[in-house]
Amino acid sequence: MLRIALAMLLVMHGVAHLPGVVGAWRLAPLAEIPAHTTVVAGRFDVGERGMRLLGIGWLVAAVLFWVVAAGVVGQDAWWVPMAAITAVLSLTLSVLELPYARIGVVVNLLLLALLVVRSAGWLSAAP
């Protein structure tokens, strides 16, 4: 049951990356994410191409979270390291997209903490 809940959270976290794709590629207007070409709270202008690259990063992270969710459900051994890699990617994207992705920073830090606790053996090996 805990495994299914974790998988569902990972799927939802992947879905939460999709506005990053939509905003970066300007596929639709989003009130929460106005069109911009700067990262790190407006400190660095990366231009349209840079934003499109970030959009690809958001899409890759979304797909990876869905793959990790499948690994959790299937109890595959690779899901923990893949989740860590994906969370670091997502955390990096979230920091670049501050302040819009501030919730993502918190969620990714919590996920990484959970993975550390699980890997240290402080949590049952069967989420």
Is pLDDT of 124 > 80? Answer: no
In the chain, the percentage of residues whose pLDDT exceeds 90 is 80
The answer as to whether 10 is a domain residue is yes
Identify the domain containing residue 47 by its residue range: 2-119
pLDDT digits (tens, 9 = 90+) for 26-35: 998 888 888 8
The answer as to whether 108 is a domain residue is yes
The answer as to whether 125 is a domain residue is no
The pTM of the whole model exceeds 0.75: yes
Place of tokens 């993502």: 104
CA nearest neighbour of 33 among 12, 54, 62, 63: 54
The answer as to whether 14 is a domain residue is yes
DSSP E strands: which ranges in 20-119? 38-39, 44-45
pLDDT at 123: 59
In this structure, what token pair is assigned to residue 8?
Answer: 């569902």
Structural domains counted in the chain? 1
pLDDT digits (tens, 9 = 90+) for 21-63: 999 999 988 888 888 899 999 999 999 999 999 999 999 999 9
